[in-house]
Amino acid sequence: MTSSYMTELQPPQKVLLGPGPSTVHPRVLAAMATPVMGHLDPAFFQVMDDVCEMLRQVYHTNNKMTVPISSTGTGAMETACANVIERGDGVLIARNGYFGIRLGDIAERCGATVHLMDTPWGKPVDPNMLRDELKKHPGLKAVGVVHAETSTGVISEVKELVDVIHEAGALAIVDAVTSLGGHDVRMDDWGIDVCYSATQKCLGAPPGLAPISLSEAAMDVVVKRESKVQSFYFNLKDLESYWNQTRAYHHTSPINMTYALRESLRMMMEEGLENRIQRHAKVAAGLRAGVEALGLKLLAEDGARLNPLTTMSVPDGIEDAKVRRTLLNEYDIEIGGGLGEFAGKAWRVGLMGESARERNVFALLSALETILSKEGYEVAFGASLSAAQRAIATFDKD
């Protein structure tokens, strides 16, 4: 009997509509399959420079320190905290979902004295509430906020929050893992000090790299810190020496993942950043209209709904995991379940990067109509599809 590991790997093709990863375009996969270079080869340095130049455009920044960290988004979250925070520093984390909770956990592990400001799940962080909370904690080193909370489908108004943070004299650390490339992120205009993301969502590359950008003020803090960064791997002072013209060895870069990111960013430049953001908005509008026509509740507050990630309620009497299994096994469609307070109560649908296509909205809604009707949920067949089609068709006219 031949062991399974002795057969050629042939992963099943799925429509990835979960909270990440998103579908990867064949051009990006083809770029990954090109020959490996050495990470200190001058030819690879040009690839690195191309990636950094395009990332600056996506971030809308002139920050010199704008690079992809060799990790997933959580590694970039840890990079942000480990470099800015020294033991005993006061930090405030605005939590309105699962990833705000994670940010607070990492800040604490980095030795910070962490203060927490909790906002109900499904609602954005309120600038006035943040201002009042900051008055209780003078002298904070940094404040962490999540721009796009992947667990709830909520987007917060980062510019207003950053203004409030700077009023208090603190650095603004912003999680843009699910927003970069799918929503406007204007690092320089909004005054963000540290902003990190990940490749597997709206940027359209596989998981494995995590863009991060630091302002001059943030890098000044990193350079002048009194203690060593406790992480060798995520130490930005050393990483900067590899990514700038010094090209000093730090670790072996994931060469082919960098190829992939270069190609996905190149596709973004071809499409145009504004066009890409509008594409995410259009398909999200279609999905939301279809979901409401199905009689499902949207869990993010109206006016603060993420385009790349939509959260909807699981109907009473319907088994969350069973519906997701059926979607995956019978329709080859992956969606996500709820996290934290939304566990078992929500479905999370990602329309990000290459997955943000109208055809995926229609395929998902059609499948949900069939599955839910078989589970005893009353469905008006075709209603969700018609609502989605109408929303998409009239989007540019609104």
Residues 247 and 349 in one domain: no
112: domain range?
Answer: 26-269
Q: Residue 150 sits in a domain of what CATH number?
A: 3.40.640.10
Decide if 341 is inside a domain. yes
Residue-level pLDDT at 39: 94
Place of tokens 């791997």: 233
Residue-level pLDDT at 398: 59
Residue 91: both structure tokens together:
């930090």
**Within 10 A of 27 (CB to CB), how many other CB atoms are there?**
14
Residues 172 and 220 in one domain: yes
Residues 264 and 285 in one domain: no
Residues 227 and 352 in one domain: no
Residue-level pLDDT at 49: 95
Decide if 10 is inside a domain. no
DSSP assignment of 169-194 equals: T-EEEEE-TTTBTTB---HHHHT-SE
Residue-level pLDDT at 177: 98
**Among 385, 155, 191, 176, CA closest to 281:** 155
Q: What percent of the chain clears pLDDT 90, i.e. is strictly above it?
A: 95
Decide if 112 is inside a domain. yes
**Within 10 A of 183 (CB to CB), how many other CB atoms are there?**
19
Q: What are phi and psi of 380, to 5 degrees?
A: -90, 100
Residues of the chain under the 50 pLDDT cut = none
Residue-level pLDDT at 1: 60
pTM for this entry: 0.96
DSSP assignment of 217-278 equals: HHHHHHHH-SS--S-STT-HHHHHHHHSTT----S---HHHHHHHHHHHHHHHHH-HHHHHH
Residues 220 and 259 in one domain: yes
Q: Pick from 220, 240, 269: which residue ends a domain?
A: 269
Decide if 18 is inside a domain. no
User: How many structural domains does the chain have?
Assistant: 2
Residue-level pLDDT at 55: 98
Q: What are phi and psi of 97, to 5 degrees?
A: 170, -175
Residues 223 and 105 in one domain: yes
Which stretch of DSSP H or E encloses residue 95? strand 90-95
Residues 257 and 349 in one domain: no
Q: Residue 375 sits in a domain of what CATH number?
A: 3.90.1150.10
Residues 234 and 200 in one domain: yes
Decide if 168 is inside a domain. yes
DSSP assignment of 304-361 equals: -B-SSEEEEEPPTT--HHHHHHHHHHHH-EE-EE--GGGTTTEEEEE--GGG--HHHH
Residue-level pLDDT at 348: 98
Residue-level pLDDT at 397: 66
- Which of helix, strand or coil describes residue 283? helix
Q: Pick from 242, 269, 296: which residue ends a domain?
A: 269
**Among 179, 183, 155, 393, CA closest to 286:** 393
Residues 138 and 248 in one domain: yes
